[in-house]
Amino acid sequence: MTPAATPAVSLEELARWFEREHSLDAPWLAEMRRHALAHFRDVGFPTTRQEEWRWTNVAPIAHTRFQSASPADSVEPLRREIFHRMAPYAPRSLGGYEIVFINGVHAPELSTAPAPAIQITTLRNAMARHGEMVRAHLGREALWEQNGFAALNTAGFQDGAFIHVPDGVVVDKPIHLLFFTTAGRAGTPLLVQPRNLVLIGAGARLVLACVYAGQDAAAALTNPVLEMVLGEAAQVELVKLQRESDSAFHVAHEAVRLRAAANLLSLTLNLGGGLVRNNLSVRLDGPGAQATLNGLTLAAARRHVDNHTLLDHACANSTSHELYKYLLAGRAGGVFRGKILVRPGAQKTDARQTSKTILLSDEASMNSQPQLEIYADDVKCTHGSTTGPLDDEQIFYLRSRGIAAVQARTLLTYAFAGDVLQRVRYAPWRQYLEALVAGELNRLHIEKTST
Amino acid sequence: MNIVARCGAAPRTLNNKECLMSLLEIKNLRAAVGGREILKGINLTIGTGQVHAIMGPNGSGKSTLASVLAGRETYEVTGGRVLLNGKNLLELAPEERAGEGVFMAFQYPVEIPGVSTSYFLKTALNAIRKYHAQDELDAMDFLQRIKDKMKLLQMDQSFLNRSVNEGFSGGEKKRNEILQMALLEPRLAIMDETDSGLDIDALKIVADGVNALRGPERAILVVTHYQRLLNYIVPDFVHVLRDGKIIKSGDRNLALELEERGYSWLDGATAAA
Ligand SMILES: Nc1ncnc2c1ncn2[C@@H]1O[C@H](COP(=O)(O)OP(=O)(O)O)[C@@H](O)[C@H]1O
Ligand SMILES: [Mg+2]
């Protein structure tokens, strides 16, 4: 692949560039990309007239002239320099296997040595060495035919992580995928499209964290797709930590398939990004499969964070629990749309969904909507949603005991957030996130009182 | 003039207690909520070391008075003044009042999910210590202190790990209020219907906790509409609040009389006031 310089162009024009760029792909992939590109041209970016995008307007993305990130955007010494600036965002103290991507390009010299017994590599490497395994799964989980963004990723993804944990292997350390994004060489907004494929064998266990971080004011679009399959009785804890800059766009598709008795525990933690949309869909594909999806969003200023989840109960006896919380300050906007689909025959489905929002200012807003589609009769599905300010009675109670107003508010918001964080099972990550969120909350309240 | 509990103006000396100075002075206090006046000119002076009881029918304004003293912002003070040790209480934030030694045991303590009781108590204690420019207590010192207080109130230590008031029974919530009071050692403790919902055993435990706090440097204001609690926490003065005014004051016998005859025999007193 030649690091051809890309002119700053619209996404439409970029699409044409992808065609040239990926001319060296395997024929099956080239074919898929062509399809995806045709599809993207067909549907384009979604508009708020579409039910799925009613609350999130992506016009700012459609109107930005991005430049596709290329290896030239992360050459030495730029790459090392970026990495050093981004180092505070890396969960180094947790000692995981790390794969680092800078502006979408793998940085092997900054990544840790591969783990024994499992494969952690880049998707490009995997395609060269395990082409058939990649081919069997890539594009099969994320439904790119239904979504312009996922189609765009499929048409033009640069690289990403490939993880294969064989049957029965318990991975000794967490795997960390770090995606650092900055402005392009010319300060132009970059389009970064990671594509990650994770295959977990039967009975295998893994803690996987995806960290997205960025600092610059450049309006980069990160448009990642993650596809993951859990074999029978596999157990995965998935942490997604979003800490991009306030002007960044982030539209993600994460699609997970659970076979019988597989267990997924996920946390989506949104601390950054100007316009964020996470699409997390889980297909429960075997009896005893269990998915627990937790989410926490902290947003201030004019940030907009949208979480769409789909729990697709495709067979009998599967369970899903969902808890999404939002703390919105300033003029921040939040969206939660949780769809629970119970397919015909998926009897004894147990699905529970809760979303809770605290509005820390009068200008913040939240749209929360459950969506239940149930085609079986012997099921238990519940959902609930609350939105409101901090409880005045609780604040008064704390103040009447000598605790200052700001501290009382911080304490209450921390309790609200801590309820989600305490559900992280892997203790080092839990502690790391608790400290991180405590710091962010202090900032949120200090900013609030100073304005 | 309806203030018989004024320092030096008490009708007789009670419990041989001498009133050295007035801790709390409420003068012609008026308060409204949503434009409706609820406190219509309260006058009350409480000296250090004293226990005062405020009784009155439901809706007479007892909780409003307690809340206004603690600084609840729902109520608008429309007139009068309140001095604590000569300091204007009404211009202080609730947390500053707590620092100055005001403590209200809530009639309906709120539940705070996600905040452990021990964290809450430690934060409160250290906030008040900080107000007095004292060092913060470390975890060990705090634990020792709270354990002693819990023993007094016959509370199990498992309370410390539970979220504040969450899932507590009515009695447990009230005991938790008294535990906070014992820990924070206020100068003016206001107890709003702490007896309601307590069985007789719990009532005795709570009363023991309060009595242990009685002392020459502290005053207690007991709000209740039954005289039952006053058998255990014996007041020096009793006041009757009705329709936002204190219509009668006396010693503990007034409480017994109210128990016997209800509040209606005082209707004439309203006119006299
Ligand atoms: N927050 C409030 N909003 C509206 N009315 C209130 C509020 N608090 C108290 N009141 C009214 O004020 C009056 C006195 O209430 P309260 O002080 O609770 O009486 P008590 O404690 O003696 O039963 C009642 O009529 C009550 O309805
Ligand atoms: Mg009351």
Tens of pLDDT, residues A158-201? 899 999 999 999 999 999 999 998 877 677 788 999 999 999 99
| Whether pLDDT at A438 is above 80 | yes
Q: Which two tokens stand for residue A173?
A: 């350390």
β-pair type (A235-243, A263-270): parallel
> Would you say residue A46 lies in a domain?
yes
| Whether pLDDT at A449 is above 70 | no
Predicted pLDDT at A180: 92
Instruction: Among B74, B93, B184, select the one facing A401 at the smallest CB separation.
Output: B184
**Residue numbers in B near A392 (CB within 8 A):** 73-74
Amino acid identity of residue A252, one-letter, is A
Predicted pLDDT at B258: 87
The ipTM of this complex is 0.91
Instruction: Work out the burial of residue B151: count CB atoms within 10 Å of its CB; fewer than 13 is exposed, 13-18 middle, 19 or more buried.
Output: exposed
**What is the share, in percent, of chain A residues with pLDDT greater than 90?**
71
Q: Which atom of ligand 1 is nearest to the CA of B193?
A: 21
- B238: helix, strand or coil: strand
| Residue with tokens 């005082």, as numbered in its chain | B266
**Residue numbers in A near B137 (CB within 8 A):** none
| Residue with tokens 């006041």, as numbered in its chain | B239
Rg, C-alpha atoms of chain B? 18
| Whether pLDDT at A116 is above 90 | no
Lowest mean pLDDT among A306-315, A407-416, B191-200: B191-200
Predicted pLDDT at B4: 36
| Whether pLDDT at B26 is above 70 | yes
**Pocket of ligand 1 contains residue B64 by CB under 6 Å:** yes
Which is more confidently placed, A218 or A405? Answer: A405
Predicted pLDDT at A217: 67
Count of C-beta atoms within a 10 Å radius of residue B170: 14
Distance between CA atoms of B238 and B53, rounded to whole angstroms? 5
Count of C-beta atoms within a 10 Å radius of residue B131: 16
Average pLDDT estimate for A108-135? 89
Q: Which two tokens stand for residue B255?
A: 């409480």
Average pLDDT estimate for A307-320? 98
What residue's CA is closest to ligand 1, atom 5?
B33
| Whether pLDDT at B11 is above 80 | no
Instruction: Work out the burial of residue A450: count CB atoms within 10 Å of its CB; fewer than 13 is exposed, 13-18 middle, 19 or more buried.
Output: exposed
> Would you say residue A402 lies in a domain?
no
Q: What is the rounded end-to-end Cα distance, in angstroms, of chain B?
A: 7
What pLDDT band is residue A10 in, cutting at 50, 70 and 90?
Answer: low
Average pLDDT estimate for A18-24? 70
Q: Quick: pLDDT tens for B48-65.
A: 999 999 999 999 999 999
Which is more confidently placed, A63 or A166? Answer: A166
Average pLDDT estimate for B251-258? 90
B130 to chain A: closest CA residue: A402
Predicted pLDDT at A114: 77
Contact assignment for A402 to B95 by CB distance below 8 Å: yes
| Whether pLDDT at A204 is above 90 | yes
Interface test with A, best of B33, B112, B173 (most A CBs within 10 A): B112
Predicted pLDDT at A215: 76
The distance between the two most distant Cα atoms of chain A, rounded to a whole number of Å, is: 70
**What does the CA dihedral B154, B157, B160, B163 come to, rounded to 10 degrees?**
-80
A443 CA to chain B: closest CA distance, Å? 20
The per-residue pLDDT of chain A, averaged, comes to 90
Across the beta sheet with B22-33, the strand order is B36-47, B22-33, B76-84, B87-88
Distance between CA atoms of B205 and B218, rounded to whole angstroms? 20
Predicted pLDDT at B269: 55
Contact assignment for A402 to B131 by CB distance below 8 Å: yes
B163 to chain A: closest CA residue: A415
Q: Quick: pLDDT tens for A351-383.
A: 999 999 999 999 999 999 999 999 999 999 999
B168 CA to chain A: closest CA distance, Å? 16
Mutate to test the pocket of ligand 1, among B29, B30, B38 (most ligand atoms within 8 A of CB): B38
The per-residue pLDDT of chain B, averaged, comes to 89
**Pocket of ligand 1 contains residue B74 by CB under 6 Å:** yes
B236 CA to chain A: closest CA distance, Å? 26
| Whether pLDDT at A421 is above 90 | yes
For ligand 1, the distance from its centroid to the CA atom of residue A138, given in whole angstroms, is: 65
A430 CA to chain B: closest CA distance, Å? 16
Distance between CA atoms of B251 and B254, rounded to whole angstroms? 6
Distance between CA atoms of B105 and B189, rounded to whole angstroms? 8
Predicted pLDDT at B273: 38
Residue A391 forms contact with B (CB below 8 Å): yes
Contact assignment for A398 to B93 by CB distance below 8 Å: no
| Whether pLDDT at B36 is above 90 | yes
> Would you say residue A323 lies in a domain?
no
Half-sphere exposure (Cβ direction) of B50: Cα atoms closer than 13 Å: 27
> Would you say residue A128 lies in a domain?
yes
Q: Which atom of ligand 1 is nearest to the CA of B75?
A: 1
> Would you say residue A57 lies in a domain?
yes
| Whether pLDDT at A20 is above 50 | yes
Cβ atoms B51, B234 nearer than 8 A: yes
- DSSP-assigned letters across all residues of A142-205: S-GGG-HHHHHHHHH--B-EEEEE-TT-B-SS-EEEEEEE---TTSPPEEE-BEEEEEE-TT-E
Contact assignment for B124 to A399 by CB distance below 8 Å: no
Amino acid identity of residue A435, one-letter, is A
Per-residue HEC secondary structure of A226-276 comes to: EEEEECCCCEEEEEEEEECCCCCEEEEEEEEEECCCCEEEEEEEECCCCEE
| Residue with tokens 């409160």, as numbered in its chain | B124
| Whether pLDDT at A446 is above 70 | no
Predicted pLDDT at A11: 59
Average pLDDT estimate for A107-128? 88
Predicted pLDDT at A37: 87
Amino acid identity of residue A329, one-letter, is A
Q: Which two tokens stand for residue B110?
A: 């709120």
H-assigned helices in chain B = 62-70, 94-100, 117-131, 139-152, 170-184, 200-213, 252-261, 267-272
Distance between CA atoms of A201 and A345, rounded to whole angstroms? 26
Average pLDDT estimate for B111-123? 95
Average pLDDT estimate for A261-270? 98
For ligand 1, the distance from its centroid to the CA atom of residue B60, given in whole angstroms, is: 8
Domain of A256 in residue numbering reads as 11-285
Cβ atoms A159, A106 nearer than 8 A: yes
Which is more confidently placed, B2 or B260? Answer: B260
> Would you say residue A120 lies in a domain?
yes
B157 CA to chain A: closest CA distance, Å? 21
**Pocket of ligand 1 contains residue B34 by CB under 6 Å:** yes
Distance between CA atoms of A51 and A373, rounded to whole angstroms? 15
> Would you say residue A373 lies in a domain?
no
Across the beta sheet with B51-55, the strand order is B102-105, B188-192, B219-223, B51-55, B237-242, B245-250
**Pocket of ligand 1 contains residue B63 by CB under 6 Å:** yes
Q: Quick: pLDDT tens for A281-294.
A: 999 999 999 999 99
| Residue with tokens 């709003």, as numbered in its chain | B192
Task: State the total domains in chain A.
Answer: 1
**Pocket of ligand 1 contains residue B158 by CB under 6 Å:** no
**Pocket of ligand 1 contains residue B209 by CB under 6 Å:** no
Predicted pLDDT at A362: 95
Q: Which atom of ligand 1 is nearest to the CA of B64?
A: 17
| Whether pLDDT at B10 is above 60 | no
Residue A415 forms contact with B (CB below 8 Å): yes
| Whether pLDDT at B80 is above 90 | yes
- DSSP-assigned letters across all residues of A9-78: --HHHHHHHHHHHTTTS-HHHHHHHHHHHHHHHHH-S--TTSGGGTT---HHHHTS--EE--GGGG-TTH
Query: Which helix (DSSP H) or strand (DSSP E) does residue B219 occupy?
Result: strand B219-223
Predicted pLDDT at A368: 97
> Would you say residue A42 lies in a domain?
yes
Predicted pLDDT at A55: 96
